[in-house]
Amino acid sequence: MTAKTLYDKLWDAHLVKQRDDGSALIYIDRHIIHEVTSPQAFEGLRLAGRKPWRVDSILATPDHNVPTTTVERASGVSGIADPVSKIQVQTLDDNCDSFGITEFKINDRRQGIVHVIGPESGACLPGMTVVCGDSHTATNGALGALAHGIGTSEVEHVLATQCLVAKKMKNMLVKVDGVLGKGVTPKDVVLAIIAKIGTAGGNGCAIEFGGQVFRDMSMEGRMTVCNMAIEAGARAGMVAVDDITIDYVKDRDFAPKGNDWVLAVNAWRELVSDADAVFDVVVELNGSDIIPQVSWGTSPEMVVSVADSVPDPAAEKDAVKQTGMTRALEYMGLSAGQKMTDIQLDRVFIGSCTNSRIEDMRAAAAVVKGRKKADSIKEAIVVPGSGLVKEQAEAEGLDKVFTDAGLEWREPGCSMCLAMNADKLGAGEHCASTSNRNFEGRQGYGGRTHLVSPEMAAAAAIAGRFVDVREWL
Ligand code: SF4
């Protein structure tokens, strides 16, 4: 029997039809929807006189357009000040109500960012195919699932047929062995990977993250890494199932129970790459060499360690890359040779589907505890990824730790990750952000994003600039 990778196994288990031209139809187990990419899909269904084919496979929640201040959230959808956001969220509610779709609505305690609530609720499980009209659906690959983002027309197609037209990707293994040092986080690992392979490094591939570093990593850490597989050019990232996966899934609301649980766990144990499976591409890093990372430019590959300086485009031999670096430095208002620790910051954002889970909240709180936000930081906001994360953090007193330090504690949502709600950067402002994209204007027109871990963002809020958080731990 041919040895298979984890991706091969997931693909084969869901293959409905393979065509000679390479295209295929795969079955979709879980469809997560939100307010941004679903309205046109539902409209298309209505125009065609169709209904969702398997309503119980769908879970909905609003995330991009929800405000994060307690005042604006108090009256639910009617309290949303921005008219476009209000329509988006109301339309999701209406569509879910009319088709009988389960939705964690704006003030449901389970509401949150789509990629946080999927694993948290147990709606996304090992061995599943998971799609959502949002590229960071790759997050769910941490469970040993095949998960990726889809476009609006594909959302409609999956709603109507429960299937997706897809093409099998290449197998890529990113292997990180060694042991991470103190203060070095999953975010640093994935930023170091992207810095090494570039934002096109995973093009056409499904990445499996393997090696000791991932075996030792918590599920939430694995989610952070898989979340950013998309920034490395891959459509999906995944980690093999092990005891950490099983323990995480157990007793979650949507997870199987009783004898179904026993059967499911037996099946999930097979979700590892065979020992002699062959990968098309293999990349290796030594985890012991990684130190906290900070992005300096306008692409997630424009990253250096906090101990480094802003790179000099003149030293880049590739003319296209050199032009990109020069443009990025102009946009970011930085100079070649400037030390990363000299970059002065205006705002701090701790949140997003990359880093808004309870472990992220705990890690950031541990750094700011007993300290005060720098006066030069205009605003530092901490946005939990879901209502349940918020509840847990408050039960542990983390909200108080943040507010005592001068940081703001917000309601769950995408918030300042992408400037589709009231949380935005002003033009020219530098932000230490735990999100996943630092493109021009991503956090607001003219805003300057630096991608970092929650620990690094928390330290930056206190110092007003980047510091090597390892020195504080
Ligand atoms: S937090 Fe950011 S990247 Fe994640 S789903 Fe929301 S907007 Fe997209």
Find the 135 Cα to ligand 1 centroid distance in Å: 9
> pLDDT digits over 169-183, tens only?
999 999 999 999 999
Give 134's pLDDT tier (boundaries 50, 70, 90): very high
Q: What is the mean pLDDT of residues 28-50?
A: 97
When the pLDDT of each residue in the chain is averaged and rounded to a whole number, the result is 97
Position 75 confidence tier, pLDDT thresholds 50, 70, 90: very high
Ligand 1 centroid–CA 383 distance in Å is 12
Ligand 1 atom 2: the closest Cα is on which residue? 417
Contacts of 266 (CB under 8 A, 6+ apart): none
Q: Which of 198, 5, 26, 32 is nearest to 102 (CA)?
A: 32
Q: Look at residue 419 in the predicted model and tell me its pLDDT.
A: 87
pLDDT tens digits along 289-305: 999 999 999 999 999 99
Checking DSSP bridges between strand 146-149 and strand 163-167, what pairing results, if any? unpaired
Q: What pLDDT is attached to residue 19?
A: 96
Ligand 1 pocket, mutate which of 35, 65, 89, 113 (most atoms under 8 A from CB)? 113
What distance in angstroms lies between residue 68's CA and the mean position of ligand 1's atoms? 14
Specify the ligand 1 atom closest to the Cα of 354.
Answer: 4
| 418 Cβ below 6 A of ligand 1 | yes
> Can you tell me which atom of ligand 1 is nearest the CA of 351?
1
Phi and psi torsions of 244, nearest 5°: -60, -40
Q: Is the Cβ–Cβ distance between 116 and 86 less than 8 Å?
A: no
What burial class does residue 19 get, using C-beta atoms within 10 Å of its C-beta: 0-12 exposed, 13-18 middle, 19+ buried?
Answer: exposed
Ligand 1 center–CA 254 separation, angstroms: 23
**What's the gap in Å between 219 CA and the centre of ligand 1?**
19
User: pLDDT > 90: what percent of the chain?
Assistant: 99
Closest ligand 1 atom number to CA of residue 115: 5
- Please choose, from the candidates 89, 60, 148, the residue with its C-alpha nearest in 3D space to the C-alpha of residue 420: 89
CA of 351 to the centre of ligand 1 (A): 9
Contacts of 380 (CB under 8 A, 6+ apart): 347, 348, 349, 350, 373, 406, 407, 408, 461
CA of 376 to the centre of ligand 1 (A): 27
Instruction: Give 309 Cα–ligand 1 centroid separation in angstroms.
Output: 29
Q: What's the alpha-carbon Rg for the chain, to the nearest Å?
A: 21
- The answer, yes or no, to whether any atom of ligand 1 lies below 6 A from the CB of 64, is yes
Cβ of residue 303 lying under 6 Å from some atom of ligand 1:
no
Q: What is the mean pLDDT of residues 122-146?
A: 98
Ligand 1 contacts CB of residue 353 (under 6 A): yes
Does 134 contact ligand 1 (Cβ within 6 A)?
yes
Other C-beta atoms lying within 10 Å of the C-beta of residue 41: 24
Ligand 1 pocket, residue 357 CB under 6 Å = no
Separation of CA 431 and ligand 1 centre (Å): 16
Q: Is the CB of 417 under 6 A from ligand 1?
A: yes
Q: Which of 414, 415, 439 to mutate to test the pocket of ligand 1 (most atoms within 8 A of CB)?
A: 414
pLDDT of 194-211, one tens digit each?
999 999 999 999 999 999
User: How many residues in the chain?
Assistant: 473
For residue 337, the CA-to-ligand 1 centroid distance in Å is 32
Which pLDDT does position 473 carry in this prediction?
86
Q: Is the pLDDT of residue 1 over 80?
A: no
pLDDT in tens, 336-389: 999 999 999 999 999 999 999 999 999 999 999 999 999 999 999 999 999 999
Pairing of strands 58-60, 102-103: parallel
Query: How confident is the model over 396-410, as pLDDT tens digits?
Result: 999 999 999 999 999
Please determine, for residue 308, whether its predicted confidence score (pLDDT) is greater than 80: yes
C-alpha distance from residue 251 to each of 121, 237, 257, 344 (Å): 9, 25, 7, 45
Q: What is the pLDDT of residues 272-287, one digit of tens each?
A: 999 999 999 999 999 9
Compute, in angstroms, the gap from residue 434 CA to the centroid of ligand 1.
Answer: 11
Instruction: Point out which residues pair with 90 in neighbouring strands.
Output: none
pLDDT of residue 421: 86
Output the six-digit token pair for 429: 């402002």
Check pocket membership of 429 for ligand 1, CB cut-off 6 A. no
Determine the residue of 61, 64, 68 to mutate for testing ligand 1's pocket, defined as the one with the most ligand atoms within 8 A of the Cβ atom.
64
User: Residue 390 has what pLDDT?
Assistant: 98
* Cβ 414 under 6 angstroms from ligand 1: yes
pLDDT in tens, 317-330: 999 999 999 999 99
Any atom of ligand 1 within 6 Å of the Cβ of 117: no
